Amino acid sequence: MARFLSRPLAPAARPSFSPGAPAAPGAMGPRCSSSRLLFLLLLLLGSSGIFQSYAVEVDVKDASNATCLYAKWMMRFLIKYETNSSDYKNTTLNLSPSVTHNGSICGDDTQAALLAVQFGEGHSWSVNFTKNNETYQGDFITFTYNTNDTAVFPDAKRKGPITIVVKDTMRPVQLNNVFVCQNTDSFEAENVTQIFWNVTVQAFVENGTIGKKESRCRADTPTSAPTVPPTIANITTASTTTSSPAPTTAPKPVENPDTGNYSLKSGNKTCFLATVGLQLNVSQDKPLLINVNPKTTSADGACGNTTATLKLNDGNSTLISFTFVVKNSSASVQKFYLKEVNVTLLNRLNGSVISHADNNNFSKWDAFLGSSYMCRKEQTLEINEHLQLHTFNLWIQPFLVKANKFSTAEECFADSDLNFLIPIAVGMALGFLIILVFISYIIGRRKSRTGYQSV
């Protein structure tokens, strides 16, 4: 089990640009133009006249207490949201002095490393890193902000957590090198501008020792021409320029997905348990079934008293989040249910969004608080008209997990039908057998009486 250390740094009056001080991830998104960046900085300064934010330092350690993932950076977010009066407001979300980092993962040759932080009233941010031969690089950035935080989102029309997933454009970094970005950088997606500066990060640290060589971001070296290493995209392009088309074969049927086991922790205690096989049915362009591979999927999210979110990232192109809430009730016995599902499919080659769908009007998988929910039968969640999510062998408990084990399960109707049909079928068979025995007995008695009649 990985152990973590974070040290919130003092608030900065403005981004530091001294040599050697790491800064914003040009690797964490495309750079803005100078005028755009100046506009953003002026907007950030606001009426207070100062660029206040908190830095965070995270040192992820493995089971032997050796550093395996290290990062130190500063960031803030500009968010545009809709109010109850149907107009839009701009707000700024900063890192709070208290930052946690539950769910961070060291990673290895087969599993992506994950740097995840949680802050404020239900906000979280994470980036995953993958290793490829002698390099590592960031893949996807996931940002969740919670509009229930009325101090940041007063009068917000949509309540609850909202998740945004974007492709990290970080260039491959040589193993044992530290990625450093001195300049402030930003990028936009879905009404959110993410701003970074003073960034230092090294994934897949070997022997617990932070590297001494630096790899600088594009923002720090604007005049240098970046080298382009061979990529899957290049190989695919070259291989498709053939003189004759490949012979067509009948598509193989997609088997049911493997069942994965996922969990979240709050401190040292498990707070969320899930066992499920997941399959996506996409029909936007052409029918496509995608099985989520649990061996390459990492879990992240947040636990709360009335809201819990599980976010699954397969490290390649599929990101799924489930949000559970406790029903508003004054009764002493309460129930939880699945309220929202978000699905994002990304192009494996360039990180562009193929499909994104969310549905926040579910009322499924309900069970009494303190219990778990189980459904072994296949279930279908209609995310939108183009995307469905199929679940298999589902067993989930988002609240009040005790001793790292599932509590007594409440089974779905489909499973209950099966449980009832078996004894009913057995009972009917026994009843039919009894009737046959009774009829045979009556016929036998009549024959015996006929034998004693006088002639």
pLDDT above 70 covers a percentage of the chain that reads 73
Q: Residue 336 has which token pair?
A: 């939880």
pLDDT at 390: 95
Q: Taking the CA of residue 325 as centre, how many other CA atoms within 13 Å lie in the half-sphere pointing to its CB?
A: 14
E strand or H helix at 389, and its extent? Answer: strand 387-397
For residue 84, the model assigns a pLDDT of 92
Specify the pairing of strand 353-359 against strand 335-346: antiparallel
What's the rounded mean pLDDT across residues 342-351? 71
Could you tell me whether strands 213-216 and 177-181 are parallel, antiparallel, or unpaired per DSSP bridges?
parallel
Residue range 383-402, pLDDT digits in tens: 988 889 999 999 999 999 99
Query: Percent of the chain having pLDDT more than 90?
Result: 33
Split at pLDDT 50, 70, 90, the class of 274 is: very high
- Tell me, what's the pLDDT at 408? 93
- Given a cut of 60, whether residue 366 has pLDDT beyond it is yes
Q: Which domains does the chain carry?
A: 1-221 (2.40.160.110), 258-439 (2.40.160.110)
pLDDT at 256 over 70: yes
**pLDDT given at position 230:** 32
Find the farthest-apart pair of alpha carbons in the chain and give their distance in angstroms, rounded.
128
Query: Between residues 225 and 412, which one has the greater pLDDT?
Result: 412
The average pLDDT across 313-327 equals 85
pLDDT at 33: 40
Residue 262 has pLDDT above 70, yes or no: yes
Render pLDDT for 26-79 as a digit per residue (tens, 0 to 9).
Answer: 444 433 343 344 344 444 443 333 335 577 889 999 989 999 999 998 888 889
Per-residue pLDDT at 403 exceeds 60: yes
The pTM score is 0.48
Could you tell me the CA-to-CA distances from 164 to 78, 167, 319 in Å, in that order? 13, 10, 10
Identify any residues that bridge with 123 across adjacent strands, giving them in sequence order.
119
Q: In this structure, what are the phi and psi dihedrals at residue 142, rounded to the nearest 5 degrees?
A: -120, 125
The mean pLDDT of 202-227, rounded to a whole number, is 75
- Which string of DSSP letters, residue by residue, matches 275-305? EEEEEEEE-SSS-EEEE--GGG-EEEEE--S
Please tell me which residue, 111 or 264, carries the higher pLDDT value.
Answer: 264
Residue with more model confidence, 21 or 198: 198
Cβ-contact 148, 159 below 8 angstroms: yes
Is the pLDDT at 368 greater than 80? The verdict is yes
Higher pLDDT, 178 or 356: 178
How would residue 377 be classed by pLDDT, with cut points 50, 70 and 90? very high
What does the pLDDT average to over 124-150? Answer: 90
Q: Which of 117-131, 234-248, 415-429 has the lowest mean pLDDT?
A: 234-248
Q: Does residue 118 register a pLDDT over 50? A: yes
Is the separation of the CB atoms in 147 and 172 below 8 Å? Answer: no
pLDDT at 335: 92
Q: Cα separations (Å) of 415 from 338, 389, 422, 440?
A: 18, 19, 11, 38
The pLDDT tens digits for 82-117 are 999 988 888 989 888 788 888 888 988 888 899 999
Q: Which residues contact 243 (CB under 8 A, 6 or more apart)?
A: none
Residues 301, 281: contact at Cβ < 8 Å?
no
Position with higher pLDDT, 442 vs 158: 158
